[in-house]
Amino acid sequence: MTVTLTINGQKVTTAEGSTILEAARSAGIYIPTLCHHPDLSNVGACRICVVEVVGARNLQTACTTPIAEGMVVYTDSEIVRATRRFVLEMLLSDHPNDCMTCEVSGDCELQDLVYDYGVKWPEHKGKRHNWEIDPDPNPFVFIDRNKCILCGRCVRACAEIQNRDVWNFAHRGFRTKLVAGADQFMLDARCESCGQCVAYCPVGALYDKMSLGKGRANQVQKVRTTCSYCGVGCNFDLNVRDGRIVRVTSAPDAPVNGMALCVKGRYGYDYVHHPDRLTAPLVRARWLQGVEEKLKGGEWQVFVPQGNGRDGGDGSDHLTVTPDTFIQTDWDTALDVVARKFAEEKRLHGSGAFGMLASAKCTNEENYLFNKFARQILGTNTIDHCARL
Amino acid sequence: MGEQTNVRIVEDAALTSTKDLPSQWIAVCMGTGCVSSASAEVRQALIQELERHGLSSQVEVRRTGCFGFCAAGPIVVIHPDETFYTRVTPADVKDIVEQHILANRRVERLMYRDPVTKVPIEKWYEIGFYSKQQRIVLHNCGIIDPENIDHYLAREGYQALHKVLSEMTPDQVIDEVIRSGLRGRGGGGFPTGLKWKITRQTPRWPKYVICNADEGDPGAFMDRSTLEGDPHSVIEGMIIAAYAIGARYGYIYCRAEYPLAIHRLQVALDQARQRGFLGGNIRGFDFSFDLYIKEGAGAFVCGEETALMASIQGDRGNPWPRPPYPAVSGLWGQPSNVNNVKSYAYVPHIIRLGADWFKQLGAPDNPGTAIFALTGMVNNTGLIEVPMGITLREIIYDIGGGIPDGRKFKAVQTGGPLGGCLPEAYLDTPVDFDSLCAAGAVMGSGGMIVADETTCMVEFAKYFMRFACDESCGKCPPCRIGSTRMLETLECITAGLGTLEDLDYLRYLANGMQKGSLCALGQLAPSPVMSALRHFEDEFRAHIEERRCPAGKCHALITYEIIADLCTGCMVCARNCPTNAIRGEKRQPHVIDPALCERCGLCKELCKFDAIVVR
Ligand SMILES: Cc1cc2nc3c(=O)[nH]c(=O)nc-3n(C[C@H](O)[C@H](O)[C@H](O)COP(=O)(O)O)c2cc1C
Ligand code: SF4
Ligand code: SF4
Ligand code: SF4
Ligand code: FES
């Protein structure tokens, strides 16, 4: 069933049960929002999306008002604009004047609206909140309640997407405070540090702690990637500045996961630039031939673990190569060694000597190939997978 | 109240049967007001005293609901002669029994005296406070024992339910309520029958019937009194509503600060269930319904119907946007009918006596009665039930007995913190939904607060703004922050720091809150300030332009002074001043040091020679 209504003089036909906001967006008509997010339930809290509905007693919020046949809506009339401006003025009257150094400057829904509606940061004698900044020991989530506009997106993201119900509001009126659990630390309130709440915060009240001061939206390049941790295949954007990953942000159009990520995908990227990270195959010297030459020729290197005190800082010449020394080789050499050893094992001890453990970090296809390799090439049924439990 | 009274008030009504009442009985008010002034002890003493005289079987001592005249409590009424005793203590009980019951002599010192002539008044309904009242919702309060269902049944209780179940279809019930013109008593005045009809028509089940007994208006206690004095009337109204809309379950949302009301409700629910008025197949008919009490934690905003339902669901008591309205999507997303306590309490009368009977009460389009908690600067304060259409003047002067000490009336606030104030010129406004609205106030569901010349209207407005600030749920910015800014601005003005631009700023904030707020709390919270500013702008300007509080109330703008000619140098003021701000020799005129004076006013109160004035 469809319903036809008129928005700003334009006839719009859309599915029954839609909201005014959905109807307007389907027709390409822009209505600003703050507390609304398409992934979350609508609560009508922020009042930014108010529109004029002919015949209604008061302005209505587009994000919550169901459409009706013959409805006549104005989304940008003077009274609508004035009311939005008033809401923004009120929000700014209890907001720090901190866009200069704010992490999300340039990527802030409030800042954009304040700009669009020409609202100035007001000086006044009245109260502004002065909450402690970053009071929570959660290693990943940074909180600055002074910037919180109480839109409740984090509350709903945590409850509706992550099903953890960590956040809610305590107290009433001007004293309303975003709290975890019963005003506890996040980790004591069932938080699993997935960062969904951060991802949905329209302002800089919740931010990724590891990324503080590392680069704002206009200073980073976003690189879409697939998470390397498990086979689900979540997509997200690496925020890269000067060749280094400084943050992970959700990609709303990610086909598998949308905005959602787990703690590993969102915050587990520090290994990427870690000095201990292995970036080339290592083979013990005893399995290789012509080690001396290749080392001299610079094709291979002696592997020196970081921070073990052996590399006096003056080059690898002084290192003695024993049969146990790890040599950093190339993939072909390393795989040849593996193939040779597999064949030898099979000849000497038979297929029963093999046990294979597959990884959840691989895709289904990779795991399928792994199983084929085990059964058909190696000839063993002793296969297991770390995600079997 | 008494038999004659009801006959006198609603002559054509059959509300008045008193069958099964013993001929001699003593009503002891056991409403919250009188209980707090020790009426339970009075009742106990009466029972013992009667026993001592061997009268226990001839004279019944009955606990009843509220008489409304709580300021004069504990109230005791002797029947059948209907003598009205006020401020009764256990020590008075001996006289009541020995003089009144045994010797048939009234105990004059306990009788209410006319404030002017000082003559004791015999019958309760001859007292000015009751003179213009018409008790329909409260007609059992003060008569029946609310914890005894037989008392309710003896007064035609549950007859309307029987009529509905045996003779009427749900649609006929709804038509009757629509025809009666009943409008919701929760404040908005929405037609009750129409709401039922929409809820009935929404094709989704289950449906719920909900009674709003949150009653958060400061000073209001009419819903509490109704529930404490006549809980079955509300329950019966709800069962009828459930039948009409097709609901199986219902909730009564009552604030936990009303323990007595909750207790009486629970007793009434248990008794109704025992007698088959609640539960499966009510009275053998093919209709089942049951009711539960949900205790609220006492947030004003939880009286707003959507916040109320959120609270029943166990969520934070924040309002939801409407539409969709509760009739379409309410409790747990299901069609739900929310009505006020009093709205339900009218229903049994309407069904039993007919829509036509109800329509002729009160004012056109505003049938029935209005119930107010009359407070502030009037001689008689308390709970009153008056016909719609009565004027403010009649309420304040005839029922309220006028302003104490001959002071001048200044304003009357209706609708509580979401209402507005009206000045003297509006005193002849009829009290009904439409007239009050047209005058710029609202009916609301609350107190009627009278202000006199000693009330500072800026302070008065500020009081309500502070209430709104404290009670705003905080969900939406216009209300959460706007109310804070309004309060701050008013505080500036009363502190003598205001500017004329502040008045424009107040108007600007008010407009933004009205347009932008989610629920009626934020939309209407500016009304008290705006109506005060409309009618008493001079007073606001005096605070700003002359740094003067005309009523002498705003501490920052007043000074206490001793008139040397009147001061005898008795030193009472100096000895009692908490900040030692008064100096002077014995028998010499004293002086107040304005730098030390905290303007508490104690000295002025204590001075026997009226030598201390406020400037
Ligand atoms: C802030 C606020 C507080 C309210 N408090 C009450 C209340 O205490 N009792 C009540 O019956 N209605 C209250 N209402 C009105 C209810 O929202 C609702 O309109 C009413 O219960 C409907 O019942 P009625 O149709 O019988 O009037 C309040 C409304 C607002 C906005
Ligand atoms: S990090 Fe995840 S689990 Fe923790 S509060 Fe945020 S959304 Fe909830
Ligand atoms: S922290 Fe962010 S998402 Fe959460 S309520 Fe505040 S502004 Fe909204
Ligand atoms: S108007 Fe006030 S009480 Fe109502 S939703 Fe908004 S903040 Fe809450
Ligand atoms: S986006 Fe609609 S009220 Fe916030």
CATH number, residue A60? 3.10.20.740
User: Which range marks the domain in which residue A188 is found?
Assistant: 125-273
**CB-CB under 8 Å, B523 with A47:** no
Q: Chain A contact for B469, CB < 8 A?
A: yes
- pLDDT band at residue B422 under the 50/70/90 scheme: very high
Closest residue by CA, ligand 3 atom 7:
A148
User: What's residue B13's pLDDT?
Assistant: 37
How many distinct structural domains can be found in chain A? 2
Q: Is residue B564 part of a domain?
A: yes
User: What's residue A389's pLDDT?
Assistant: 56
Chain B: residue nearest A172 by CA?
A: B473
User: What's residue A313's pLDDT?
Assistant: 46
Choose one of B409, B444, B479: the last residue of a domain: B444
Average pLDDT, chain B: 92
Looking at the fold, whether A238 and A175 belong to one and the same domain comes out as yes
User: What's residue B4's pLDDT?
Assistant: 34
Looking at the fold, whether A246 and A130 belong to one and the same domain comes out as yes
* Residues B250, B239: Cα–Cα separation, whole Å: 9
Q: Is residue A302 part of a domain?
A: no
Looking at the fold, whether A139 and A60 belong to one and the same domain comes out as no
For residue A316, pLDDT beyond 60: no
User: What's residue B347's pLDDT?
Assistant: 98
Q: What is the CATH number of the domain that holds B57?
A: 3.40.30.10
Looking at the fold, whether B524 and B402 belong to one and the same domain comes out as no
Looking at the fold, whether A266 and A138 belong to one and the same domain comes out as yes
Q: What is the average per-residue pLDDT within B439-455?
A: 90
- pLDDT band at residue B20 under the 50/70/90 scheme: low
User: What's residue A304's pLDDT?
Assistant: 82
User: What's residue A385's pLDDT?
Assistant: 87
Looking at the fold, whether B541 and B566 belong to one and the same domain comes out as no
Q: What is the average per-residue pLDDT within A4-26?
A: 97
Q: Is residue A114 part of a domain?
A: no
User: What's residue A307's pLDDT?
Assistant: 57
Looking at the fold, whether B178 and B324 belong to one and the same domain comes out as yes
The proportion of chain B whose per-residue pLDDT surpasses 70, expressed as a percent, equals 96
**CB-CB under 8 Å, B523 with A58:** yes
For residue B79, pLDDT beyond 60: yes
User: What's residue B219's pLDDT?
Assistant: 84
Looking at the fold, whether A53 and A158 belong to one and the same domain comes out as no
Give the closest ligand to the alpha carbon of residue A263: 2
Give B537-567 pLDDT, tens digit per residue.
999 999 999 999 999 999 899 889 999 999 9
How many distinct structural domains can be found in chain B? 5
Task: State which H helix or E strand residue B583 sits in.
Answer: strand B582-583
Looking at the fold, whether B488 and B511 belong to one and the same domain comes out as yes
Looking at the fold, whether B207 and B61 belong to one and the same domain comes out as no
Choose one of B393, B416, B444: the last residue of a domain: B444
The proportion of chain B whose per-residue pLDDT surpasses 90, expressed as a percent, equals 84
Provide the 10 A C-beta neighbour count for residue B246. 18
Q: What is the CATH number of the domain that holds A268?
A: 3.30.70.20
Asked if residue A334 has its Cβ within 6 Å of ligand 5, the reply is no
Return phi, psi of residue A341, to 5°.
-70, -40
Choose one of A76, A109, A134: the last residue of a domain: A76
Within B305-440, strands assigned E span 336-340, 362-363, 366-367, 369-376, 382-387, 409-414, 420-423
Looking at the fold, whether B267 and B125 belong to one and the same domain comes out as no
Looking at the fold, whether B27 and B157 belong to one and the same domain comes out as no
User: What's residue B12's pLDDT?
Assistant: 31
| Residue B297 to chain A, least CA–CA distance (Å) | 13
Looking at the fold, whether B163 and B298 belong to one and the same domain comes out as yes
Give the closest ligand to the alpha carbon of residue B471: 4
- pLDDT band at residue B22 under the 50/70/90 scheme: low
Average pLDDT, chain A: 94
Give B482-540 pLDDT, tens digit per residue.
999 999 999 999 999 999 999 999 999 999 999 999 999 999 999 999 999 999 999 99
Q: Chain A contact for B212, CB < 8 A?
A: no
For residue B10, pLDDT beyond 60: no
Choose one of A35, A59, A76: the last residue of a domain: A76
User: What's residue B14's pLDDT?
Assistant: 39
Q: Is residue B554 part of a domain?
A: no
Q: Chain B contact for A230, CB < 8 A?
A: no
Q: Chain B contact for A19, CB < 8 A?
A: no
Looking at the fold, whether A240 and A141 belong to one and the same domain comes out as yes
Q: Is residue B1 part of a domain?
A: no
Q: What is the CATH number of the domain that holds B427?
A: 3.10.20.600
Looking at the fold, whether B162 and B248 belong to one and the same domain comes out as yes
The proportion of chain A whose per-residue pLDDT surpasses 90, expressed as a percent, equals 88
Q: Is residue A206 part of a domain?
A: yes
Q: Is residue A279 part of a domain?
A: no
**CB-CB under 8 Å, B480 with A150:** yes
Looking at the fold, whether A132 and A50 belong to one and the same domain comes out as no
Looking at the fold, whether A237 and A141 belong to one and the same domain comes out as yes
For residue B78, pLDDT beyond 90: yes
User: Which range marks the domain in which residue B589 is found?
Assistant: 559-614
Give B260-289 pLDDT, tens digit per residue.
999 999 999 999 999 999 999 999 999 999
- pLDDT band at residue B8 under the 50/70/90 scheme: very low
- pTM (predicted TM-score): 0.90
Q: Is residue A362 part of a domain?
A: no
Of A208-212, B51-55, B158-162, B446-450, the range with the lowest mean pLDDT is: B446-450
Q: What is the average per-residue pLDDT within A91-98?
A: 97
For residue A275, pLDDT beyond 90: no
SS (H, E, C) chain A: CEEEEEECCEEEEEECCCEHHHHHHHCCCCCCCCCCCCCCCCCCCCCCCEEEECCCCCCEECCCCECCCCCEEECCCHHHHHHHHHHHHHHHHCCCCCCCCCCCCCCCHHHHHHHHCCCCCCCCCCCCCCCCCCCCCCCCEEECHHHCCCCCHHHHHHHHHCCCCCEEEECCHHHCEEEECCCECHHHHCCCCCCHHHHHCCCCCEEEHHHCCCCCHHHCEEEEEECCCCCCCCEEEEEEECCEEEEEEECCCCCCCCCCCCHHHHHCCCCCCCCCCCCCCEEEHHHCCCHHHHHHHCCCEECCCCCCCCCCCCCCCCCCCCCCCEEECCHHHHHHHHHHHHHHHHHHHCHHHCCEEECCCCCHHHHHHHHHHHHHHHCCCCEEECCCC
For residue B73, pLDDT beyond 90: no
Provide the 10 A C-beta neighbour count for residue B427. 17
Angle B447-B323-A179 from CA coordinates, rounded to 5°: 75
Looking at the fold, whether B153 and B237 belong to one and the same domain comes out as yes
User: What's residue A283's pLDDT?
Assistant: 96
* Residues B142, B28: Cα–Cα separation, whole Å: 8
User: What's residue B21's pLDDT?
Assistant: 59
Q: Is residue B451 part of a domain?
A: no
| Residue B475 to chain A, least CA–CA distance (Å) | 6
Choose one of B491, B522, B545: the last residue of a domain: B545
Looking at the fold, whether B177 and B321 belong to one and the same domain comes out as yes
For residue A314, pLDDT beyond 90: no
Give B346-375 pLDDT, tens digit per residue.
999 999 999 999 999 999 999 999 999 999
Of A97-101, A237-241, A261-265, B438-442, the range with the lowest mean pLDDT is: B438-442
Looking at the fold, whether B496 and B569 belong to one and the same domain comes out as no
Q: Is residue A238 part of a domain?
A: yes
Chains A and B form CB pairs within 8 A to the count of 109
Which of A64, A89, A93 faces B321 most closely, judged by CB atoms? A64
Instruction: Return the ligand 3 atom nearest residue A153 CA.
Output: 3
Looking at the fold, whether A59 and A191 belong to one and the same domain comes out as no
